[in-house]
Chains A and B, each alone.
Chain A
Amino acid sequence: MTLDIQAVRQDFPILHQEVHPGKPLVFLDSAASSQKPRQVIDALEYYYTHSHANVHRGLHVLSEAATDAYEKARDKVQKFINAAHREEIIYTRNTTESMNLIVQSWGRANLSQGDVVILSVMEHHANLVPWQMLAAEKGFTIRYVPLCDDKTLNMDALKAFLREGNVKAVSLTHVSNVMGTVNPLKEIAALAHEAGAITIGDGAQAVPHMKVDVQDLDVDLYAFSGHKMCGPTGIGILYGKQAILDAMPPFMGGGDMISRVTLNGSTWNELPYKFEAGTPAIAEAVGIGAAVDYLSGLGMENIHAHGQELVEYAHDRLAEIPGLTLYNPDAPYRSGVATFTLPEAHAHDIAQILDSEGIAVRAGHHCAMPLHKEHFHIPATTRASFYLYNTTEEVDKLVDGIYKVKKLFNR
C-alpha cells in the first residue's frame, strides 16, 4: 500500500490557503513543527467539550473521563514505540524537557569528575546545552563524535572514545535535524552497553518519520516531541527502561509525583507519576494519542516510504541547480530534509524570497550552531523539510523558487 497523498492533504485544513495573493502555501518546514490533521484537532475539541477535569484527583465522572483519556493515550504511545511497559512512558512538554529531565536526574545522580559523556557534533542544542551546564558544575568530560566526509557519524571515532574508558553515557540524535542523517542507534547501543555506558536517543526527528521500536534499538532513554509528529505543542515523551527510571531521582517536586508528604520529607510516587509533577498537559496528551492513531492508521512504513521518495526526488532536482551545495548524506542514511546553500545569496535572503512565492522553509543554524560554525564553517543553511502531506509538485515549486533567487542575485 502507498499513501494517497491527496486524501492525506484533505486531512490538514491549514494546507489549503493562499499565504500571499495567488500563492498557495507550500509548507516545507515540518522538521520545525508539523501541521495537524483534522483528527487531532477534533480530539482536542472533543476532550474540551466533553471530558475535561483534572486527572488523578477527583472522584467525579469528568475527572474519571479525563484520567481515562490521558492514560489511554499513554498506552497508545507505548504501543507506537513498542515499549515493554506503560510505566516507561513519561509525559513531558517536549524533547528539550525530556533531555533536561535526563541530564538533571540521571546525570546529576551518576556523573562526576573523570566520567565521560559522548555526544556528537551534529546534536541539536537540546542534547548539548543541558550536558554542558551540568558538566560545568560536576566536572565530567564531554567528547564529541565527528562526522565523516559523507556526513554520517564517524563510527571509528565513537569506538575509539568508548575504548578509552570511563564512558557513562552515549547521548546521540537518532536523526539529524539539519542533515537528515540517520544514525545506527541499535549498533551504537550495543557498543555502548559493551563499554558499560547507557544509551540515550534524541528521537525528535526519527519518531515522526519511521517505525521506532525502543526494545529492538535497546536504547535506555529516548526523547521526542508531539508537535513534530502531527500532535499538539506542549506535549513530549520521555521513554526509559523501567529499571533505569526507577533508579532515577525525581526531576521536579510537587503534586502528583509524591506518595506521602510530611513536614519532614516526602516519598515518591511510582512510575510514571514520579516524573509528572503538577497538573499535566492533559488535552495535549490526548492529542498525541490521536496523532499516534492517525500515523498508525496510515502506516509508518508507508509514511517512511513516501518520505524517502520525496527526499530522493528533492536531492536529484536540487543537485541540478548550478552552484548549489547540499548538506545531506546519500540514501539510505538520510531522512526527510534537503539542506543547502547558494554562493550568491545568504540563507535568510533565500528563505525570504521563497516565502514571497508561498514556500515556507527554515533558514539559520537550526539549533545546531556547532555543526554549522565548527564543522561546516558556514553561518547558516536553508532547510526544506518534507512530511507525509508534501508532494513532488511542491518540490518542483521549491526548485523554481530557488531559480528565482538566483535570477534576482545574478542580474
Chain B
Amino acid sequence: MDMYQENIIDHGQHPHNWGLLEDFDMHAHDDNPLCGDQLEITIKLDVNERVVAVGWQGEGCTISQASASMLGDELLGKTLDEIKALSKDDILELLGIPISMTRIKCALLSLKVVKAAAYGLGEDE
C-alpha cells in the first residue's frame, strides 16, 4: 500500500509537536465535517516573526494527522510570509506519497488550518 509508508504511519501514531501551546501568537481550528477529521493549531513567533514553536492537536485519519505532524516540523524557523506562501504542492511533496482524489482533503486540512492561523482567521468571531 503506497500511501501507508512507514514514516506516514509513524507520524500518525507518534505525531510531532503534539499538544497546544499555552503561550502563542497564532491559533486556528478547522475540521472536515464529512469525514470527521479535525485539527487545532497554535504557533509562537519570535521578535523577527519567525516560528519558534508549534503545538497542535486533532483527530482523524492517518493521512490528516501525519500531514499535520510533518507540516508542524516544516513551520519551525519559517517567517510569517513564508508560511503564507506555502502551497498545496509543498504539502504533497512533504508527504511524498501518492494521494488519491478522495483523500486530498485529509492531506490538506493541516495547510488550511495553518493558513487560517497565519492570516488571523482562526479566532472565533
Contact residues of A with B, CB < 8 Å?
345-349, 352-353, 356, 363-365, 372-373, 379-380, 408-409, 411
Contacts and interface: CB of A to CB of B under 8 A. Distances in A.
Given A345-B62, A348-B61, A348-B106, A364 B35 contact: yes
A373 B13 CA distance: 23
A347 B34 CA distance: 12
Interface in B1-34: 1, 3-4, 6, 9, 13, 34
Task: Name the residue in A364, A379, A408 with the highest tally of chain B Cβ atoms < 10 Å from its Cβ.
Answer: A379
Contacts of A373: 36
A348 B103 contact: yes
B59 interface: yes
B1 A408 contact: yes
B63 interface: yes
Nearest to A345: B62
Interface residues of B, number: 18
Contact of A379 (B13, B59, B63, B103): B59
16 contacts: A345-B62, A347-B61, A348-B103, A349-B4, A352-B1, A352-B3, A352-B4, A356-B1, A363-B35, A364-B34, A365-B36, A372-B36, A373-B36, A379-B37, A409-B9, A411-B9
B63 A349 contact: yes
A379 B1 contact: no
Contacts of B37: 379
A363 B4 CA distance: 17
A353 B35 contact: no
Contacts of B36: 364-365, 372-373, 379-380
Interface string B57-83: 001111100000000000000000000
Contacts, number: 44
A346 B34 contact: no
A211 to B, nearest CB: 35
Contacts of B106: 348
Given A348-B35, A353-B4, A408 B61 contact: no
A353 B61 CA distance: 12
A343 to B, nearest CB: 12
Interface string B76-119: 00000000000000000000000010010010000000000000
Given A352-B4, A352-B100, A353-B4, 19 more contacts: A346-B60, A346-B61, A348-B35, A348-B61, A348-B106, A349-B63, A356-B1, A364-B34, A364-B35, A365-B34, A379-B35, A379-B36, A379-B37, A379-B60, A380-B35, A408-B4, A409-B9, A409-B13, A411-B6
Chain A interface, >50% SS class? helix
B9 A408 contact: yes
Interface of B: 1, 3-4, 6, 9, 13, 34-37, 59-63, 100, 103, 106
Nearest to B60: A346
A356 B36 CA distance: 22
Contact of B103 (A352, A365, A380, A411): A352
A356 B37 CA distance: 22
B2 to A, nearest CB: 8
Contacts of A356: 1
Nearest to B3: A352
B7 to A, nearest CB: 12
B34 A349 contact: no
Contacts of A372: 36
Contacts of B103: 348, 352
A379 B35 CA distance: 7
A364 to B, nearest CB: 6
Contacts of A349: 4, 61-63
A408 B59 CA distance: 19
A352 B6 CA distance: 16
A110 B13 CA distance: 54
Nearest to A356: B1
A271 B100 CA distance: 47
B13 A353 contact: no
Contacts of B61: 346-349
Task: Name the residue in B34, B62, B100, B106 with the highest tally of chain A Cβ atoms < 10 Å from its Cβ.
Answer: B62
